[in-house]
Amino acid sequence: MNGDAMSENSGGYPPSWYAATRLAGPSVARLEGDRDAEICIVGGGYTGLSAALHLARASRSVVLVEAERLGWGASGRNGGQIHVGMRREQEWLEQALGEVEARAFWRIALDARVHLDWLIGHYRIACDLTPGYLHADHRRRFTADTRAHVDHLRDRYGYEHVRFVDRDEVRHLVGSDAYHGGMVDARGGHLHALNFALGIAAAAATEGALLFDRTPATAIVRHGARWRVTTPHGSITADRVLVACNGYSRGLVPAVERHVMPINNYIAVTGPLGESGVQALIREGHAVSDSRFVVYYFRITRDHRLLFGGGENYSWTFPSDIAGFVRPHMLRIFPQLKRTRIEHAWGGTLAITPNRMPFVREIEPGLTAIAGFSGLGVVLAPYLGKLAAQALGGEAGMLADDFRRLARLDIPRFPGGRLMRWPTLVAAMSALSFRDAF
Ligand SMILES: Cc1cc2nc3c(=O)[nH]c(=O)nc-3n(C[C@H](O)[C@H](O)[C@H](O)COP(=O)(O)OP(=O)(O)OC[C@H]3O[C@@H](n4cnc5c(N)ncnc54)[C@H](O)[C@@H]3O)c2cc1C
């Protein structure tokens, strides 16, 4: 799928620095035979795994099926960057939804950030959680907006973890001439993406969720008042189904894919650079992402490498030489790495929506879908999994209200529908990414 090459020692994961440094997850098998559950979850990334965990905690019977390996999708391959907020900034939300709703979404974002700490702390998930995030402006003209944004968050939302950094400070923090200013968020940070996913999976299994890997759902059909999810060697009959396939959905629920578009994004990891080597690149160990339309994002790893994300494409296939694809982007920021070896490179598929807000819907009674975190799922996806668990578990309260709030969001369709969305998107995205050059 998507040109992923498998290697012997990557445990069924596409080769990546994450796969090479992964810890053991729970022991899981293929689904063989028929099962019955209150809730069936399709997709074993952060969304599905966290929903399974929270449903099991609430003593619901839950079966999760993952087509490949747990955390095999975007959740096991992403930049590991922890961002606070929705994918759209508060200023945009205020304009689009009004002050009250914008504030509600800010609260959801803060709750999601607290939930991340709770997950990692409560279940002792070893995922290299590291504090500190830096947004860096690659155009001088963007810094005024960033300064205003910091003031907005501090003054209007009382969020004092952010501060503006000027050109001198950003150049102190990042060993590059590429940036003119930015914003530090002390509540942001980074983590080991795959070990985080495997940690949620282990927690879900401990709480009693039944997890199956190498088990693709091939159809989801009504079965009287219930639903039946079929897989190659068995089926699950359930009262409710949550579809959490994000960018890896391939026609399973077409109603989702009209609103959600898969995009491939690429990451390269250098050889070890030593403690002083990585400090010369990112002095205080922040997760950094920049103001490009096709964002560059980078951080250092526990074993003192640079993990650099940059470049994307809009097709079903990955470039054959991913390291060669990412390298020029990395050298634009860090030309001093010209002679540095790239030891790992991989691609992953994320899902965007037209307005970059997540798509949360009850497609039909009892069939719910969540997708389209638009590149910001490390914090939000596990939390939306929790909200879904609350809603699917039939519990009332503020969390269920927040789920309904998300489900009410107007997420437009991509023009052209499920099959014809590509040409429109490729044209639009290519035009916008072209602007990064100026
Ligand atoms: C390269 C890259 C970098 C990123 N960087 C960041 C970042 O730094 N910070 C951040 O916040 N976000 C980042 N993201 C986004 C983030 O990774 C996602 O938003 C998040 O992982 C989504 O989780 P999910 O569980 O919804 O989907 P996924 O993790 O993609 O999981 C979906 C799963 O569904 C499975 N599946 C699909 N079809 C079926 C089927 N028929 N039956 C069973 N299973 C099926 C897939 O195999 C897959 O494992 C990045 C994404 C990518 C690709």
Q: Give pLDDT tens digits for 274-288.
A: 999 999 999 999 999
- In the chain, what percentage of residues exceed pLDDT 90? 83
CATH number, domain of 136, equals 3.30.9.10
Q: For ligand 1, pick from 245, 299, 318, 387 the residue to mutate: most ligand atoms within 8 Å of CB.
A: 245
Residue 426: the pLDDT is 61
Specify which residues 223 forms β-bridges with.
Answer: 226
Q: Report which DSSP code applies to 110.
A: H
Which residue's CA is the nearest one to ligand 1's atom 22? 377
> How far from 169 is each of 254, 263, 300, CA to CA, in Å?
48, 33, 19
Residue 8: the pLDDT is 45
Mean pLDDT of 94-112: 96
In a domain, 22, yes or no: yes
**What band does 1 get if pLDDT is binned at 50, 70 and 90?**
very low
Q: How remote is the CA of residue 157 from the centroid of ligand 1, in Å?
A: 30
Q: What are the DSSP calls for 162-222, one per residue?
A: EEEE-HHHHHHHBS-SS---EEEEEEEEE--HHHHHHHHHHHHHHTT-EEE-S----EEEE
Residue 215: the pLDDT is 98
CA angle 159, 165, 167 (to 5 degrees): 160
> How far from 163 is each of 103, 125, 187, 222, CA to CA, in Å?
20, 29, 11, 52
Q: Same domain, yes or no, for 161 and 271?
A: yes
**Residue that terminates a domain, selected from 298, 330, 352:** 352
Report the atom number in ligand 1 closest to the C-alpha of 265. 1
Report the atom number in ligand 1 closest to the C-alpha of 193. 17
In a domain, 279, yes or no: yes
Q: Same domain, yes or no, for 252 and 379?
A: yes
In a domain, 137, yes or no: yes
Is there a contact between 291 and 135 (Cβ–Cβ < 8 Å)? Answer: yes
Q: Same domain, yes or no, for 270 and 309?
A: yes
Three-state DSSP class for residue 346:
strand
Q: How remote is the CA of residue 273 from the centroid of ligand 1, in Å?
A: 29
Residue 359 identity: F
Q: What are phi and psi of 188, to 5 degrees?
A: -80, -175
Is there a contact between 354 and 411 (Cβ–Cβ < 8 Å)? Answer: yes
CATH number, domain of 233, equals 3.50.50.60
Q: Same domain, yes or no, for 318 and 304?
A: yes
In a domain, 432, yes or no: no
* Residue 330, both tokens: 């990395």
Q: Which residue segment(s) compose the domain that 236 sits in?
A: 14-78+194-260+355-423
Query: Closest Cα partner for 145 from 298, 291, 289?
Result: 291
Residue 266 identity: Y
Q: What is the number of domains present in the chain?
A: 2
Q: Same domain, yes or no, for 171 and 290?
A: yes
What is the rounded distance in angstroms from the CA atom of residue 340 to the CA atom of residue 263?
28
Q: What are phi and psi of 135, to 5 degrees?
A: -95, 130
Contacts of 349 (CB under 8 A, 6+ apart): 2, 73, 74, 246, 247, 248, 262, 263, 264, 265
Mean pLDDT of 36-55: 98
Residue 157: the pLDDT is 97
**Residue that terminates a domain, selected from 320, 352, 384:** 352
Q: Give pLDDT tens digits for 105-115.
A: 999 999 999 99
Is there a contact between 322 and 345 (Cβ–Cβ < 8 Å)? Answer: yes
Which residue's CA is the nearest one to ligand 1's atom 16? 377
Is there a contact between 223 and 29 (Cβ–Cβ < 8 Å)? Answer: no
Q: How remote is the CA of residue 116 from the centroid of ligand 1, in Å?
A: 16
Q: For ligand 1, pick from 113, 133, 350, 353 the residue to mutate: most ligand atoms within 8 Å of CB.
A: 350
Report the atom number in ligand 1 closest to the C-alpha of 348. 53
Judged against a pLDDT cut of 80, whether residue 357 lies above it is answered with yes
Query: Closest Cα partner for 182 from 130, 140, 131?
Result: 140
Q: Same domain, yes or no, for 284 and 348?
A: yes
Give residue ranges with CB within 6 A of ligand 1: 42-48, 65-68, 72-75, 77-81, 83, 216-217, 244-249, 252, 265, 267, 297, 309, 348-350, 373, 375-378, 381
Per residue in 239-254, is it b (16+ CB within 10 Å) or e — as a string? bbbbbbbbbbbeebbe
Q: What is the pTM of this model?
A: 0.95
Q: Give pLDDT tens digits for 196-216.
A: 999 999 999 999 999 999 999
Q: Same domain, yes or no, for 27 and 68?
A: yes
What is the rounded distance in angstroms from the CA atom of residue 303 to the CA atom of residue 179?
26
* Residue 14, both tokens: 């596409």
Is there a contact between 134 and 182 (Cβ–Cβ < 8 Å)? Answer: yes
What is the rounded distance in angstroms from the CA atom of residue 12 to the CA atom of residue 383?
27
Q: Give pLDDT tens digits for 226-277.
A: 999 999 999 999 999 999 999 998 889 999 989 999 999 999 999 999 999 9
Contacts of 57 (CB under 8 A, 6+ apart): 207, 389
Q: For ligand 1, pick from 42, 378, 386 the residue to mutate: most ligand atoms within 8 Å of CB.
A: 378
Q: Please, what is the average pLDDT of the chain?
A: 92
In a domain, 71, yes or no: yes
Helix 99-122, helix 398-408: angle, nearest 10: 120
Query: Closest Cα partner for 400 from 385, 390, 408?
Result: 390
Judged against a pLDDT cut of 90, whether residue 422 lies above it is answered with no
* Residue 413, both tokens: 């369709």
Q: Is residue 111 exposed (0-12), middle (13-18) or buried (19+ Cβ within 10 Å)? A: middle
Q: Same domain, yes or no, for 284 and 398?
A: no
Q: How remote is the CA of residue 78 from the centroid of ligand 1, in Å?
A: 8
Which residue's CA is the nearest one to ligand 1's atom 4? 78
**Residue that terminates a domain, selected from 302, 331, 352:** 352
Which residue's CA is the nearest one to ligand 1's atom 10? 376
Q: How remote is the CA of residue 72 from the centroid of ligand 1, in Å?
A: 8
Is there a contact between 2 and 318 (Cβ–Cβ < 8 Å)? Answer: yes
Report the atom number in ligand 1 closest to the C-alpha of 81. 8
Judged against a pLDDT cut of 60, whether residue 333 lies above it is answered with yes
Three-state DSSP class for residue 407:
helix
Is there a contact between 296 and 333 (Cβ–Cβ < 8 Å)? Answer: yes
Q: How remote is the CA of residue 45 from the centroid of ligand 1, in Å?
A: 6
Q: Same domain, yes or no, for 374 and 403?
A: yes
Q: Same domain, yes or no, for 198 and 254?
A: yes
Q: For ligand 1, pick from 286, 373, 380, 387 the residue to mutate: most ligand atoms within 8 Å of CB.
A: 373
Q: What are the DSSP calls for 282-317, one per residue?
A: BTT--EEEES-SS--EEEE-TTS-EEEEEEEE-SSS
What is the rounded distance in angstroms from the CA atom of residue 73 to the CA atom of residue 351?
11
In a domain, 115, yes or no: no
Mean pLDDT of 369-382: 95
Q: Same domain, yes or no, for 44 and 165?
A: no
Q: Give pLDDT tens digits for 133-178.
A: 999 999 999 999 999 999 999 999 999 999 999 999 999 999 999 9
What is the rounded distance in angstroms from the CA atom of residue 71 to the CA atom of residue 122?
20
In a domain, 178, yes or no: yes
Q: Same domain, yes or no, for 185 and 294?
A: yes
Report the atom number in ligand 1 closest to the C-alpha of 83. 11
Judged against a pLDDT cut of 90, whether residue 383 lies above it is answered with yes
In a domain, 310, yes or no: yes
Residue 315: the pLDDT is 74
**What band does 423 get if pLDDT is binned at 50, 70 and 90?**
low
Q: Lowest-pLDDT range, 35-39, 59-63, 78-82, 247-251?
A: 247-251
Q: How remote is the CA of residue 335 from the centroid of ligand 1, in Å?
A: 31
